[in-house]
Every structure is written in C-alpha cells, then in structure tokens.
Amino acid sequence: MPLMTEPTTDARVDPAPSPVPAPAPRTHAVGPVPGARAIEVARRSDEPVQDAGVGVEIEHLDAYYGNRRVLRDITLTVHPNSVTAIIGPSGCGKSTLIRCLNRMHEVTPGARVAGEVRLDGDDIYAPGVDPVVVRQRIGMVFQRPNPFPTMSIYDNVVAGLKLAGIRDRSLLDEVAERSLRRAALWDEVRDKLSAPGGALSGGQQQRLCIARAIAVEPEVVLMDEPASALDPMSTLKIEELIAALRASYTIVIVTHNMQQAARVSDRTAFLTVGDDRSGFLVEEGPTAQIFTNPRRQLTEDYISGRFG
C-alpha cells in the first residue's frame, strides 16, 4: 500500500492541481471473491480520475516456454500513475514481461511463470487468484490493433463492461463516449458508432482498442508496442494519448523505438538477452537518467546504438 500515496516526481505531469476530489476507494480485490467481477463505474463526469493507478512490484520473476527460460530473475517496481517504458533488443523478452503482468503469458500452451507480481500489494500469482479478475484490473493494448471486426464501434468500446454484466444503457452510452473522447477518437466516429470496428483505419483501430481497454477503468494499462504497426501521424496521436492517460492510469509500454521511450515515459527499464538466451533486467531508472547517464555499460552501448 505505500505505493498508493507515493507522489510522482516527474515535472511533466499535469501541473494544475486538480479540483476534483479523490475518487471513492475502489472495492476491487484480487481473488475469487463473490461478485468481484462487477466493475464500479460510479462517477458520471468527463473529468479524468486523478491518481487512480496503482503500483506493480515484480519480484524474482522467471518466465518459461516449456523448458526454455525466457526471462530470468526480473525484479522491477512500476510506480503508480507513471509511464514505464521497457526497452531492449529483439528477443529479450519485453513482450513476455508485460504479458506476465496480466497473466496473459500463461495463455500460450506450455508457458509458465515463477516469482511474484504484486498488484497494489496482492500477488496476482497467488493460489486461488482468478486470472479473469486480474485482467479486468490490468488492461492491455496489443501490437497489432485487434478490434472485434464484426462488432460495432460502440459495442467494441463497451465489450468489457458487458462482460462484467453491466446492462444499464445510459451508463454504457456515457462510458462509450467518455472512453472514445479520452482515446481521441470521438470526433472521428461519433456519427458512425454502429459501423463495424473493422472498417476503421489502422490508427483509428488502435485508438479504439485503447478506448476499449480504458472503458473498464483498469488500474494499470499495458501496451505492447502499440504504435509499431502504425504510420507516423497515428503514432504521434497514440503518444499524445499516453501522455494524457498517465494522470489516471499506471502505464507500462514496451517499445522498440528509443525515441518513443524517451518521449513518452517517466521511467525506463532496459532488458537484454544473456548468454543463456534468457532476458534479464540491466537497469531501471528515471528516463532522463537512463538516456543521458546510464549506470551500466550495457545500457550505454544499447542507447548509443552499438548493439540491438
């Protein structure tokens, strides 16, 4: 719980002190609590929630595909309401790492994890924890936009809410509009909410996926190279969006693109591949420090383009 109150030190966070009162404490609990799938969407305003993200502590995490270890002993703290970028050469396990944070890694047959990942203090790998509940609290945006192509834009956005059993039409309407606005897509789709999600352009589809992920108001949003399949203009929009979302969510973004990491993140973690072909964490720190004054030679070499 101490992470909940730790103030973010980055100067780029919205400087205006928010007049919005702190949100009511959430009642989420990790674990098979009866009724835990119901998501609270109590607020009815367009104001983003401040400081609603929570921290994630990764401790001694190993990840395997079958017998092959792809991540070795990762210990990393993700600070609440910050953007943490994960960078590193191809094959270092960046994507695997964030897929371990919402228990998507284990969906692959033969994949497993050892170690702890604590979301707001609770180990998401503890026995009895329902991965479905974990994934509701930790949203994810993938490398390739993956809207449900036959579903309407509107239904795409509220898909997570409908899964949680929310049927109140006025609430769904409101969440759909708010999420699309926050994903900077509302003005482009407001007149065609019933058009299929597959009919949008690639960049719009990715923003639709972001709207879908934030509609359920997760505490953490994971982004796996969210702009790597997009053109520069769409990439710019996604990056602006990440900056705006930081106020309300904890964001972890995997990126190939070091300039992107430098532009959007508060903190950066650098992973690389060891001689045993498994990825490990070289160092983590404030983005400015990692890019200007890294502590480790490996980081320096990667940042300056000597390998990777």
Partner 1 sequence: MTAQVGAVRAELGRHRPRFGEPAFRGLVVLASLTVLAIIAGLVVVIATTSMAGIAHNGIGFLWGTTWDPVHSVFGALPFIYGTLLTSITALILSMLIGVGVALFLVELAPSWLAGPLGFMIEMLAAIPSVVYGLWGIFVLAPWLRDYVEVPLHDTLGWLPFFSGYPIGIGNLAAVVVLTIMVLPTVAAVSRDVVSAVPGSQREAALALGATRWETIRMGVLPYARSGILGAGILGLARGVGETMAVTMVIGNSPTISLSFLAQGYTMASVIANEFTEATTNLYRSSLIEIGLLLLVVTLVINAAARLLVWRVAYTASSRSLAA
CB of 142 to partner 1, least distance (A): 6
Are 51 and 246 in contact, with CB atoms under 8 Å apart? no
Residue among 213, 214, 242, 252 that touches partner 1 (CB under 8 A)? 213
Tokens representing residue 167 in the block: 């049927």
Regarding 199 and contact with partner 1 (CB under 8 A), the answer is yes
Closest to partner 1 by CB, 100 or 213: 213
CB of 104 to partner 1, least distance (A): 6
CB of 242 to partner 1, least distance (A): 17
How far is Cα 135 from Cα 142, in angstroms, rounded to an integer? 14
Number of residues that bind partner 1 (CB under 8 A): 35
How far is Cα 101 from Cα 135, in angstroms, rounded to an integer? 9
CB of 305 to partner 1, least distance (A): 30
Kindly identify the residues of this chain, within the stretch 138-197, that bind partner 1 according to CB under 8 A.
139-140, 142, 144-151, 159-160, 163-164
Of 47, 95, 9, nearest in space to 244 by CA: 47
Question: What is the signed CA dihedral for 279, 96, 228, 191, rounded to 10 degrees?
Answer: -160
Regarding 212 and contact with partner 1 (CB under 8 A), the answer is yes
Closest to partner 1 by CB, 112 or 296: 112
DSSP 216-273: T--SEEEEESTTTTS-HHHHHHHHHHHHHHTTTSEEEEE-S-HHHHHHH-SEEEEEEE
Taking each helix axis from N to C end, the angle separating 232-245 and 202-215, rounded to the nearest 10 degrees, works out to: 20
Of 238, 194, 195, nearest in space to 214 by CA: 238
Any idea what DSSP says for residue 152? Answer: B
Regarding 102 and contact with partner 1 (CB under 8 A), the answer is yes
Residue among 29, 38, 42, 107 that touches partner 1 (CB under 8 A)? 107
Regarding 226 and contact with partner 1 (CB under 8 A), the answer is no
How far is Cα 269 from Cα 72, in angstroms, rounded to an integer? 15
Residue among 58, 100, 129, 209 that touches partner 1 (CB under 8 A)? 209
Regarding 23 and contact with partner 1 (CB under 8 A), the answer is no
Q: Which amino acid, 112? A: R
Regarding 133 and contact with partner 1 (CB under 8 A), the answer is yes
Give whole-number Cα distances, 133 to 11, 171, 210, 275, in Å.
33, 21, 19, 36
Site string for partner 1, 36-75 (x = CB under 8 A): -x--------------------------------------
Closest to partner 1 by CB, 55 or 197: 197
CB of 6 to partner 1, least distance (A): 27
Summarize as ranges the residues that interact with partner 1 (CB under 8 A).
37, 102, 104, 107, 109, 132-133, 135-136, 139-140, 142, 144-151, 159-160, 163-164, 198-202, 205, 209, 212-213, 216, 229
